[in-house]
C-alpha cells in the first residue's frame, strides 16, 4: 500500500504539471489529491522496515571502523563516500540520504518503482525530473532558488545537515543532484561511491517499502514545487539557498566561449554522438558537438564497479585528452546529467569550480542557428 501511494503521488503530480488550466483548477486538483494521499498515508497501516541485523561477525567488523559523524566537523575534499562509511553513520541525526535514481528513456526503467522495491534504509526519493524548471521545455533543467529551497525543506533537510545521494546504476544521476545542491550553496553533499549496487554487493540491508514519513515528504515536496511555479505560498522554508552562478552555464555563455575560449569545454557524451556518426536519442536534435569542445565519455571516470576512479587515474584520463587542470573547465552532455560526473571527477582532482552547461546538447543541438562540428567537417 505504501509503495502504491508513493508512486501515485509522484506520477499524478507529474501529470498535473502537464495539465494546464487558466481557471486555476489545476491547483485545486493538486491540493485535493495531495490531501487525499496524506490522509490515506496517515490512516493506513504503513510499515517502516527497520534495518535488519547482520551476522555478529559483520556487525563487529563494521563497528571497528565506525566513525563519529557531525555535519559541522566532518569535512572532506573528496566528493564521494564509501558504502562502509555510510553504513557506519546511517543513523546520525544530521545525515540525510537521498535516492536520486534516474534513467535514460530507452532503458525502460522506472526509478520510483525501483525505490519502492529496494532502497537504503531511511532514504527519501529525489525526483530528478520533478525537481526542475517548470517554465522550460528542456528536460530536468535547474529549478529556481525558491523552488529548490521549497522542495528540500519539504524533504526535511536543513542547512546544517550532511547529505549523501545515490542512484541505482552505481554512479550516474546522483552526480546531477550533488551538483544541484552545490549550485544552491550547500557543500555538505556527497555521492555514494558505487551507489545502490555496491551497497547491496557488500551485503548491506535495504528497505522494500516506503514509510509513512517518506510518503508525506514526497507528497509535500511534489506539491511545493507545483505551488511555487503557480505563484502560490508554500510551507515554512527551512533550507536557505545561496546561488553560485559560476557553476551553471547557459547557451549564451557557451556561445561566448567559442570565441573567447576562456574555458576548456569537455563533452561527456559517447564518441559516436560527439563525432556525429550516430544519431541523437532525442528526435529533432542534430548530431555533432560544440566547436572547440573535447570528448571524454563519462564512463571513463568510472571503474568496473561504477565507482569513481582514483585521482591518479582520473588525472591521466584528462591529460590524455589535452585538458589542463590549471585552466577553467565547463562540461556538457546530452541533458546535463552525465556532465556532472565529469565535474565530480574534476572535483576529486581539486577543481571545485567546474561549470556545467545545464541545457547541454538537448538545447544546443535543437537550435538551427548554433554552430555544430562533426568528425567529417
Distance, CA of 329 to CA of 355 (rounded, Å): 7
* For the chain, counts of helices (H) and of strands (E): 14, 10
Distance, CA of 356 to CA of 342 (rounded, Å): 9
Q: Which of 34, 295, 333, 340 is catalytic?
A: 333
Does residue 339 contact residue 360 with C-beta atoms inside 8 Å?
yes
Active site annotation includes 333: yes
Distance, CA of 245 to CA of 194 (rounded, Å): 29
How are strands ordered across the β-sheet holding 294-295? Answer: 248-249, 355-357, 329-332, 264-267, 294-295
Does residue 295 contact residue 271 with C-beta atoms inside 8 Å?
yes
Q: Computed over its alpha carbons, how large is the radius of gyration of the chain?
A: 21
Can you tell me whether residue 138 is helix, strand or coil?
coil
How big is the chain, counted in residues?
377
The residue written with cell numbers 566532518 in the block is 74
Distance, CA of 206 to CA of 49 (rounded, Å): 9
| C-alpha cell at position 286 | 542534430
Give how far the C-alpha of residue 24 lies from the chain's centroid of Cα atoms, to the nearest Å: 31
Q: CA angle, 234 as apex, 228 and 238 as ends, to 5°?
A: 110
350: left (phi over 0), alpha (psi -120 to 50) or beta: left
Q: Output phi, psi for 124, to 5 deg.
A: -105, 155
Q: Output phi, psi for 257, to 5 deg.
A: -75, -25
Does residue 289 contact residue 267 with C-beta atoms inside 8 Å?
yes
| C-alpha cell at position 316 | 591521466
Burial classification of residue 44, based on how many CB atoms lie within 10 Å of its CB (0-12 exposed, 13-18 middle, 19 or more buried):
middle
Does residue 195 contact residue 306 with C-beta atoms inside 8 Å?
yes
| Active site amino acids | 333
Amino acid at each position: 500500500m505504501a509503495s502504491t501511494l508513493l508512486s501515485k503521488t509522484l506520477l499524478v503530480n507529474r501529470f498535473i504539471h502537464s495539465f494546464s488550466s487558466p481557471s486555476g483548477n489545476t491547483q485545486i486538483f493538486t491540493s485535493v489529491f495531495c490531501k487525499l494521499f496524506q490522509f490515506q498515508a496517515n490512516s493506513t497501516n504503513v510499515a517502516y522496515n527497520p534495518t535488519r541485523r547482520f551476522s555478529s561477525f559483520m556487525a563487529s567488523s563494521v563497528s571497528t571502523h565506525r566513525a563519529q559523524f557531525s555535519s559541522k566537523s566532518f569535512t572532506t575534499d573528496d566528493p564521494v563516500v564509501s558504502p562502509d562509511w555510510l553504513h557506519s553513520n546511517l543513523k546520525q541525526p544530521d545525515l540525510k540520504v537521498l535516492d536520486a535514481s534516474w534513467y535514460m528513456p530507452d532503458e525502460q526503467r522506472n526509478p520510483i518503482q525501483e525505490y519502492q522495491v529496494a532502497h537504503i534504509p531511511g532514504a527519501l526519493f529525489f525526483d530528478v525530473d520533478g525537481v526542475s524548471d517548470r517554465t522550460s521545455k528542456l528536460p530536468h533543467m535547474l529549478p529556481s532558488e525558491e523552488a529548490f529551497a521549497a522542495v528540500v525543506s519539504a524533504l526535511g533537510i536543513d542547512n546544517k545537515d550532511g547529505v549523501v545521494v545515490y542512484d541505482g546504476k552505481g554512479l550516474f544521476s546522483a552526480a546531477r543532484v550533488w551538483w544541484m545542491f552545490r549550485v544552491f550553496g550547500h557543500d555538505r553533499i556527497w555521492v555514494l561511491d558505487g551507489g545502490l549496487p555496491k551497497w547491496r554487493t557488500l551485503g548491506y540491508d535495504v528497505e522494500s517499502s516506503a514509510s509513512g514519513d517518506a510518503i508525506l515528504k514526497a507528497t509535500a515536496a511534489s506539491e511545493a514545487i507545483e505551488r511555487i511555479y503557480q505563484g502560490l505560498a508554500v510551507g515554512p522554508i527551512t533550507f536557505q539557498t545561496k546561488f553560485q552562478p559560476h557553476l551553471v552555464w547557459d547557451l549564451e555563455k557557451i556561445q561566448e566561449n567559442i570565441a573567447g575560449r576562456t574555458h576548456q569545454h569537455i563533452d561527456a557524451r559517447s564518441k559516436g554522438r560527439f563525432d556525429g556518426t550516430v544519431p541523437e536519442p532525442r528526435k529533432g536534435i542534430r548530431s555533432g558537438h560544440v566547436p572547440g569542445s573535447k570528448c571524454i565519455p563519462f564512463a571513463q571516470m568510472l571503474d568496473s564497479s561504477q565507482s569513481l576512479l582514483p585521482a591518479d587515474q582520473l588525472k591521466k584520463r584528462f591529460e590524455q585528452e589535452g585538458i589542463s587542470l590549471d585552466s577553467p573547465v565547463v562540461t556538457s552532455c546530452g541533458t546535463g546529467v552525465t556532465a556532472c560526473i565529469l565535474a565530480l571527477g574534476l572535483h576529486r582532482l581539486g577543481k571545485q569550480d567546474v561549470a556545467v552547461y545545464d541545457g547541454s546538447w538537448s538545447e544546443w543541438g535543437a537550435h538551427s542557428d548554433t554552430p555544430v562540428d562533426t568528425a567529417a567537417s
